[in-house]
Structure 1
Amino acid sequence: MIFSPQKDVAIKQYSLQESSSLGNTVFDIVEAKGEFIRRKSNFLVPHRKDFYFFCLVRNGSSRHWVDFVPYTLQPNMFYFSSPQQVQVKEKTEPMTGIMLSFTEEYLQLEGNQVLRKLPIIQNPDNAHELALAPAHMQFLEELLGKMLVEFNTEHSWRNTMLQSYVNVLLIYLSRLYIDQSQTVQRSPDRGLLKKFSAFIDSHYSTLHQVADYADLLNLTPGHLNDRIKQQSGKTAIEHIHERLVLEAKRRLLHTDLSAKEIAWQLGFEDDAYFHRFFKRLTGETPATFRTTIREMYH
């Protein structure tokens, strides 16, 4: 079995401060030089990070899962993940490369808000890796190398220089993302969809109706639904339900909570309704899904 279901009421979450070797709380960059590090606290244990994580891999073969997708590290690849995704480390091996991490707080700093709109941050494909041609690898090696040097010195305007480097990095990665993406739409009018999705991520356990989100966005439910369907091809309620199902699946796989407890955590007052809701959207009962997915993960 590649994971250890949690008996606690919540999947363990690690902050950047806990993950950083220096205890940094907002921004961190470090070079991996082939040291073998296995943190027993999260090896084979489902967990979340509260920060964005980016990793340029020179060499390595570790294996991990992001939600329900397995990844084996390969040389000359770029890996990334977003806050709150459930991850499991299945196999850890020595790695060489450069790892960059920053929190939502970093994106809220003056001048950084625009970064939130970039594809590599929005991640509409829910992707986690980019293949790098030799020219891409060289560019990223040089850029991240400069960031690493700047981070570890005390030059004047150090933070401003780092912010500039991060801007270049995320724009460059976003171009690669679009080139390798299967579903990124070129339409410039997706702002409402992004706001709507962000609200769902923040309120999925308490707000289940389109009208709830329409109130937050100062729109009528009908207008919100029409615009969301225009921008995504799916109705507003489909987005809400997909987010609820994703979180339910995460907890069915990664915790030993009963379906009734999960239903309560996700804002369903009636666990029988949650049972019908889950089966209608997935074709399986919560119990059947848990059994099937855990058999697959053995």
Structure 2
Amino acid sequence: MADRTVQGDGAEGIRTFPFPVDLSVLGVGMRVGPMKPERTWHAEAPPGRVHRIEFHVVMLFDDGPVRHMIDFTEYEAGAGDLLWIRPGQIHRFSDTSAYRGTVLTMQPGFLPRATVEATGLYRYDLPPLLHPDEAQRAALRSSLRQLRREYKDSTTLPLSLHTAVLRHSLSAFLLRLAHLAASAHDTARREADSAFTQFRDAVERGFATNHSVSAYADQLGCSRRTLVRAVRAATGETPKSFIDKRVVLEAKRLLAHTDLPVGRVGAAIGFPDAANFSKFFHQHTETTPAAFRAEMR
């Protein structure tokens, strides 16, 4: 799950750290191995502080839950989940989570352009948190184990061939990972579209009496946060704004096409108090109900 959060670290205090080439085997542009307790990429990067990285990080967790902040969103990963952090993103480790599993880091430019495009390495629209199913997880773990074996084998091949083999093994892993990320993105969009459609239909049925976002979320059996994400993904606005626009539209229709008194118009769309209706209408249209009616006629 992902929750929007407000962090205390100011942007001015955020440090940026490059890929630690000196820590990788033979100085190649990648590292892969077990997550260590200190969970840091650089001696000057305290694990509990927000910092920015200039390289890719993929963490495959053996245990959970683990909470990790990426670009001011807090993610909770469980056993078998992956987190993919891209260059330029800021993140922060959780002091209360035990990071156990495998971590892969990769320097930009390590892979050729064709592979970068095929794997969507810089698609920042894709979700950082991934939940592979059992078959996908087994394939990813197998691919990652092969990559680890090749990474640690620094003696059987010349450096140039060793690096070439690493690039091929890394590409195989990232292609699987990219497919998982793209599938998760498409699924999330379909779910958001479905949730929005249900919300839109519910508003159409109930806007005259129900103006509450929480009430619609309860009616649809989802959290308020889930509803907010779905409506924002579909329309770019909040559920409250969507509801208010529908209420205002109905008010305009009644004012323009009926002779109902203003107070009756307000009552018909959920405002038994005429003053509250006038205030609401003016807030959203910058004119009064009476003035709007006069303009239409």
TM-score by length of 1: 0.52
Which of structures 1 and 2 has the larger relative contact order (alpha carbons within 8 angstroms, sep 6+)? 1
Match of 2:185 in 1: 181
Measure the CA separation in 2 of the matches of 1:90 and 1:138: 27
Structure 2 contact 16–53 (Cα < 8 Å) conserved: yes
| Matched residue, 2:276 | none
Which residue pairs with 2:216 in the alignment?
none
Q: Which residue of 1 aligns with 2:148?
A: 148
Aligned length: 178
- Range 174-183 or range 136-145, more displaced: 174-183
Cα distance in 2 for partners of 1:124, 1:48 equals 15
Q: 1:22 to 1:92 in 2, by over 3 A?
A: farther
Matching residue of 1:50 = 54
Contact kept, 8 Å, 1:65 with 1:71, in 2: the verdict is yes
Match of residue 226 from structure 1: none
Shift of 1:23: 9.4
Residue identity opposite 2:54 in structure 1 = D
Corresponding residue SS for 1:100: strand
Matches within 5 A, 1:90-129: 90-107=94-111, 112-118=112-118, 120-129=120-129
Contact 1:16 1:25 in 2 (8 A): no
Q: 2:18, 2:55 within 8 Å by CA — same for their partners in 1? A: yes
Name structure 1 gaps, 5 residues minimum. 186-298
Aligned-residue CA RMSD in angstroms? 3.1
Residue 29 of structure 2 is aligned to residue 26 of structure 1: yes
1:58-116 Cα shifts (integer Å, max 9, x gaps) = 21333221112111221111110111111122335333322111111313xxxx11122
Question: Which structure is larger by alpha-carbon Rg, 1 or 2?
Answer: 2
Deviation at 1:20, TM superposition (A): 4.5
Structure 1 position 124, deviation (Å): 4.5
Partner of 2:19: 16
After the TM superposition, which residues 1-298 of structure 1 pair with which residues of structure 2 at under 5 Å, given as runs?
A: 3-6=7-10, 9=12, 11-17=14-20, 20=23, 24=27, 26-32=29-35, 36-37=37-38, 41-107=45-111, 112-118=112-118, 120-153=120-153, 154-156=155-157, 157-182=161-186
**One-letter code aligned to 2:102:** I
- CA 1:138/1:19 → structure 2, altered by over 3 Å: closer, same or farther? farther
C-alpha distance in 2, partners of 1:25/1:161?
12
Query: 2:24 touches 2:30 (CA, 8 Å); kept in 1?
Result: no
Structure-2 separation of matches of 1:162 and 1:105: 14
Letter matched to residue 75 of structure 1: A
Return the alpha-carbon distance in structure 1 between the equivalents of residues 48 and 6 of structure 2: 6
Q: 1:36 to 1:22 in 2, by over 3 A?
A: same
Give the percent of matched residue pairs that are identical in Structure 1 and Structure 2: 17
Q: In structure 2, how many angstroms separate the alpha carbons of the residues matched to 1:160 and 1:3?
A: 41
**Matching residue's letter, 1:135:** A
Decide whether the 8 Å contact of 1:54 with 1:80 is kept in 2: yes
Q: Is the 8 A contact 1:130 1:176 kept in 2?
A: yes
Tell me what 2:279 maps to.
none
Residues 56 and 77 of structure 1 are in contact (CA less than 8 Å); yes or no, is this contact kept in structure 2?
yes
C-alpha separation between the residues in 1 aligned to 2:63 and 2:71?
Answer: 24
Residue 139 of structure 2 aligns to a residue whose secondary structure is helix
- Structure 2 Cα separation of the partners of residues 106 and 51 of structure 1: 10
TM-score (norm 2): 0.52
